[in-house]
Amino acid sequence: MLSSYLAHLAVERGLAANTLASYRRDLRRYVDHLRSRGLDTFADVAESDVVAFLAALREGDDEHPALVASSAARAVSAVRGLHRFALREGVAGHDPAHEVRPPRQLRRLPKAITVAEVERLIAASGPEDSPLALRNRALLEVLYGTGARISEAVGLAVDDVSLSGRSGGSSGGEEDQVRLRGKGGRSRIVPIGQFARQALDAYMVRARPQIAAHGRGTPGLFLNARGGRLTRQGAWEVLQQAAERAGLSGVSPHMLRHSFATHLLDGGADVRVVQELLGHASVTTTQVYTLVTVDKLREVYAATHPRALR
């Protein structure tokens, strides 16, 4: 039953590999929990069994640390989906998880770095004009300039990039864009600005052919030093090394994505435009960024309005 549900998530729902791995881990733990309570079939599971599992997640045991609310909520979501699937497939006659709600999570505002810090980070991409430094700069410009997830950036192929001009020629135009492939296999077209266009042009013309000569040929855009496709871990290391050289701490690829969204909204972009650029299925996911900009507005108001002082 569990394998059938996981196959359903992979094939019909198109869940990302990392999400699928998390669901598999959570559900195997759930099945072990049911067996420890003497339950071998989903038809015999009661709501109290599901509630006990949620409590076990939050409390932890000798083999598992206590989960934070977000991780426990993910596990409960997986369990609820499993029981809905069992009911639909006729394996069980009722859904014991229907009324079980995941734990409430504290809203955490995304962290962003300033525009000046982004500029420092990109400027610290490596020894100037070396092939790998040109690659690093192009990668960082794409991450910040498009709001791409790190998996989307390293998943780019050369054919996913469309540039209207070269850095020594035109100033760019409508064709300056990349095609990003996001969660659930959804793809989107994201425009790129002049800085990212010039960095990509320099990398693709002056650096990528040299790096690719060390490998066996790959359509991947960003390559490692051996000429193969750059991995997520490799991209992470590029960012961490640049952050260290720039004197920045705690910088992550997702922080650049947060900064992309926050800076757009600070500049007056509509939240639904940002939603499309980020590839969010729902605008409610994007609206958390508006809280960041409201905080900034409060700070500016308190510092500048003559009647704001108390």
| Active-site residue list | 149, 183, 254, 257, 280, 289
* Helix axes of 232-246 and 115-123: crossing angle, nearest 10 degrees: 110
Supply angle C-alpha 117, 181, 137, rounded to 5: 30
Supply angle C-alpha 70, 75, 76, rounded to 5: 95
* Helix axes of 253-266 and 271-278: crossing angle, nearest 10 degrees: 160
Tokens representing 94 are 């009722």
C-beta of residue 288 within 8 angstroms of C-beta of residue 111: no
C-beta of residue 188 within 8 angstroms of C-beta of residue 178: no
Supply angle C-alpha 188, 184, 194, rounded to 5: 25
Task: Give dist(CA 115, CA 121) in Å, integer.
Answer: 10
Tokens 């990668």, residue located: 139
What is the SS3 assignment for 65? Answer: coil
Q: Long-range contacts for 89-98 (Cβ within 8 Å, ≥24 apart)?
A: 89/1, 89/4, 91/1, 91/41, 91/42, 91/43, 92/41, 92/42, 92/43, 92/45, 93/43, 96/45, 96/46, 96/47, 96/49, 96/50, 97/47, 97/50
Supply angle C-alpha 78, 41, 93, rounded to 5: 80
What distances in angstroms separate CA 277 from CA 76, 158, 228, 255, one per listed residue?
A: 30, 20, 28, 16
C-beta of residue 190 within 8 angstroms of C-beta of residue 122: no
Task: Give dist(CA 26, CA 97) in Å, integer.
Answer: 15
